[in-house]
Amino acid sequence: RLSPLGVAVFFFLGLGVLYHLYSGFLAGRFFFFVLSEPAAGAPGGAVDLRFFFAVSVLAAARGGEEVRRVREGNVLNAKAKGKTREGAEEQLTSGDLLSNRRMFYLLKSAFPAVQINSEERVDTADQETVSWDRSIPEEIKQKIQPKEVPAESVTVWIDPLDATQEYTEDLRQYVTTMVCVAVNGKPVIGVIHKPFSAYTAWAMVDGGSNVKARSSYNEKTPRIIVSRSHAGRVEQVARQTFGNKTVIITAGGAGYKVLALLDVADKNQEEADIYIHVTYIKKWDICAGNAVLRALGGHMTTLTGEEITYTGSDGNEGGLIASINMNHKALIEKLPDLEKTSHK
């Protein structure tokens, strides 16, 4: 017959062994649960915009590496992906796709729960694992302070290859890769990278920047930069408004046109006073430039002066006008006829 005392001794010995084996594990899990912060970008958590800034700059550069490699290797594999509203053929190249994959998965690995909108479709079968060591370059540390915002308030817009048509024509100066971070629909972080000159402009609203506005502008006879595809639609009205001495500059790529308004250390960058676009345009084309201009005190609005919101649909219907260090409201009032053409 078993002794009650013996059973009790063996029971407590068993408890002791189990405690010895699992106490460290359970304690570690408890303290991890209590003390750990929510994962970056986790639903209900917060993201630090300085970290987001650093990875956005890195993503634009990594995408640019793919864009340059494909172009220099002359392996574009260009094909038509559809037509614009104006009937122009849109091109898709290997540069677009490879840049998109690199940029998207780098941002997604760093902030997995944040919404990312891209010009190109992400193929989950072609998923790439991209690691980021969360290091922040010294220049960004010095100019950008930590700032946390709710993860659910953040929307990212990336353009893996802006000016694809010019890219296929080997007009390299117009090509950029761009990342924009919007908070509650307002563009806050903007990164515009030029792959073929290794120049990157970046800025954060109420933060810092590595670029500045030019010191002089001409409101009476401005230099107006417009898309190559619809220069004629702007030129007549612009000259009627500002005079025959108004200079019309045609260029490719929304990123390039925004940089034209700034003091850019790139010999292949033209200069302009106003950027006008009179047709429908996608938000990933303009979000980064909008953020940079806002950070420097400039403006980018629809042709009627409405702020562009970076949530919801991926398109902006009302055209745009962008300026810096100028009377933006007065410019809009001078160009009433352009808004009517934006919906044609």
Mark the binding-site residues for Mg(2+), compressed into ranges: 119, 159, 161-162, 285
DSSP class per residue in 192-203: EEETTTTEEEEE
User: CA dist 303 to 189, 250, 287, 319, Å?
Assistant: 23, 19, 16, 6
Q: Summarize the annotated binding site as residue ranges.
A: 119, 159, 161-162, 285
Residue 314 falls in the annotated catalytic set: no
Q: Using alpha carbons, select from 181, 198, 195, 208 the residue that is nearest to residue 290.
A: 181
Q: Using alpha carbons, select from 242, 245, 261, 252 the residue that is nearest to residue 321.
A: 261
**Which residues are CB-neighbours of 53 under 8 A, at least 6 positions away?**
140, 144, 181, 189, 202, 204, 207
3 state SS for 119-187:
CCCCCHHHCCCCCCCCCCCHHHHHHCCCCEEEHHHEEEEEEEEECHHHHHCCCHHHCEEEEEEEECCEE
Residue 341 falls in the annotated catalytic set: no
- What is the sign of the dihedral through the CA atoms of 306, 149, 142 and 54? negative
**Annotated catalytic residue, options 124, 126, 133, 164:** 164
**Annotated catalytic residue, options 48, 84, 93, 96:** 96
Q: Using alpha carbons, select from 247, 100, 91, 114 the residue that is nearest to residue 171.
A: 91
Contact 113, 43 (CB under 8 A): yes
For 30-56, give one letter per residue: b (16+ CB within 10 A) or e: eeeeeeeeeebbbeebbbbbbbbbbbb
Could you give phi then psi for residue 52, rounded to 5 degrees? -65, -40
Catalytic center residues: 96, 164
